[in-house]
Structure 1
């Protein structure tokens, strides 16, 4: 009778260990990660982006002009997702 209970505990412990490893493997530092996705011709560190910081738990946003187009990026901390919107020929971009 003790054997099935021990096997169940071992199975639960193994599942918990795998879940923990999976969660730890999913953690990342998006902002510090070098560009690994596509070739690029350069980067623009000359002008700062305007940041819109929301209270904890809400998505933040950043906006910046690039060649006359305004770019909006919404992000949530170091999460691995973001969204992007572009306003072509924005009159506020010089």
Structure 2
């Protein structure tokens, strides 16, 4: 999960190798940081689920992106996911 390049939304996404555009679900910045339940729901809508169903599995970090002329700090949250298998 990261803030969009223009700072208008959070984006919960799945980073897929060899894909130019990653699937994502947007959340308005004004609504606050998406809750762990909202993030799980977003991942589920993309066909994925966290490997461990625990909000503590999200790791937060701050970073700046190479080439950003302003040196803006971005907040990123990561977790490990696997393809979601529907309950039988």
TM category, shorter: under 0.3
TM-score by length of 1: 0.27
Higher relative contact order (CA 8 A, sep 6+): 2
TM-score by length of 2: 0.28
Q: Which has the higher strand share?
A: 2
Q: Which has the higher helix share?
A: 1
